[in-house]
């Protein structure tokens, strides 16, 4: 099976060609960073307009790289949610138009499911997780722990009560005047600082707690900066970034291992945009090894939003006989079962 995947849930336009066994034949992503950077965050209306301009060229490029025509495809998978409704609709309408004109089967995919299954994409010879496993999905809009018993059988076992981890990175970057997107900028600055310089809080530390809260550490950073200004003392941006990152990373990695213990699984997966953070990848690897767990992390290009994960998740659904009708609509609040 060979599937065209289309991703447009937020501010990146993606198209990919992936086979049913997870072989990525082409994966093209067009970033809108220059459009949104001046505003310090994603502007939904501008994101929608940018998707309209880039989606057809991105699809054409993906098919050219894969040496594929529509006649070579077995189906089309598109992100149906969650995400920005205007952005989602651009991808969905394009996918429906292609399906209608070619007669190819169409399937809508949960963006979160795509992130979780990104660990199965065949890139770089990495090993695949064994079912059942626990995944930590950490991104700008979502932070959750997911038990995965099979590709179509997932349930949320813990999630954030407030800010997502990636959202906290962006907000701290804005407080420090670093720019947007915040995650890579905070990580780069943290390399020059000490993670022990400031003891920022770790929330919800109870022994069996699988929930997250990052609003407190974000507020703690704001208070630290305000106190420094009021007291007239210099503060190291590098130390603030390193200490903030240490708080978030320790919380995420600890709870991933804790969830595996509670669920009785031997494999864990780190996925989502925040999984591109080197400190998180390293700490999760250390704790997983200490606990005797096998950690699986997709390549960085498969952690951030991409269409290859959507194509693969869609291929599995198409192979199981699932189809979406041509009245498929955007579902901006879509979730995984809990």
To which H or E segment does residue 76 belong? strand 75-81
pLDDT tens-place string over residues 310-322? 999 999 999 999 9
172 & 312 share domain: no
Has residue 325 been placed in a domain?
A: no
190 & 310 share domain: no
Q: How many other CB atoms are there within 10 angstroms of residue 263's CB atom?
A: 17
Mean pLDDT over 289-298 rounds to: 97
Q: Are strands 75-81 and 2-7 parallel, antiparallel or unpaired?
A: parallel
Domain that holds residue 37: 2-117+303-319
pLDDT tens-place string over residues 60-112? 999 999 999 999 999 999 999 999 999 999 999 999 999 999 999 999 999 99
237 & 265 share domain: yes
Domain total of the chain: 2
Has residue 249 been placed in a domain?
A: yes
> What is the model's pTM?
0.95
267 & 170 share domain: yes
Instruction: Look at residue 126 in the predicted model and tell me its pLDDT.
Output: 64
CATH code: domain of residue 174: 3.30.420.40
Q: How far is CA 46 from the centre of its chain?
A: 21
Has residue 331 been placed in a domain?
A: no
CA distances to 133, 233, 254, 292 from 261, in Å: 11, 44, 11, 10
Query: Contact 95/78 with Cβ under 8 angstroms?
Result: yes
33 & 132 share domain: no
CA distances to 8, 17, 124, 316 from 323, in Å: 20, 18, 31, 11
Has residue 335 been placed in a domain?
A: no
Nearest CA-CA partner of 180 in 40, 294, 319, 308: 40
| CA 51 – CA 55 distance, rounded (Å) | 6
pLDDT tens-place string over residues 109-123? 999 999 999 999 986
77 & 175 share domain: no
């Amino acid at each position: 099976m060979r599937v065209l995947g289309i991703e447009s849930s937020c501010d990146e336009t993606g198209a990919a060609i992936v086979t049913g066994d997870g072989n990525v034949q082409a994966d093209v992503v067009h970033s809108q960073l220059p459009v949104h950077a001046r505003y310090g965050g994603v502007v939904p209306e501008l994101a929608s307009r940018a998707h309209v301009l880039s989606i057809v060229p991105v699809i054409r490029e993906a098919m050219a790289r894969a040496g594929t025509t529509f006649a070579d495809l077995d189906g089309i998978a598109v992100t149906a949610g969650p995400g920005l409704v205007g952005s989602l609709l651009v991808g969905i309408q394009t996918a429906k138009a292609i399906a209608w004109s070619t007669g190819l089967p169409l399937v809508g995919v949960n963006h979160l499911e795509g992130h979780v299954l990104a660990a199965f994409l065949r890139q770089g010879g990495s090993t695949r997780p064994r079912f059942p496993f626990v995944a930590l999905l950490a991104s700008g809009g979502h932070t959750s722990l997911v038990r995965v018993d099979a590709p179509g059988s997932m349930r949320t076992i813990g999630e954030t009560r407030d800010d997502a981890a990636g959202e906290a990175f962006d907000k701290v970057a804005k407080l420090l005047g670093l720019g947007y997107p915040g995650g890579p900028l905070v990580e780069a600055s943290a390399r020059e600082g000490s993670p022990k310089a400031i003891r920022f809080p770790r929330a919800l530390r109870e022994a069996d707690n699988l929930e997250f809260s990052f609003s407190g550490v974000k507020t703690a950073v704001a208070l630290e900066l305000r106190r420094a200004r009021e007291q007239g003392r210099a503060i190291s941006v590098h130390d603030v970034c390193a200490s903030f990152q240490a708080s978030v990373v320790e919380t995420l990695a600890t709870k991933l291992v804790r969830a595996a213990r509670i669920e009785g699984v031997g494999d864990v997966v780190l996925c989502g945009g925040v999984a591109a953070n080197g400190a998180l990848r390293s700490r999760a690897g250390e704790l997983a090894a200490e606990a005797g767990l096998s950690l699986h992390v997709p390549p960085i290009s498969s952690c951030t939003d991409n269409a290859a994960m959507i194509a693969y998740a869609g291929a599995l659904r198409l192979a199981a006989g699932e189809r979406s009708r041509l009245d498929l609509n955007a579902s901006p609040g879509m979730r995984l079962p809990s």
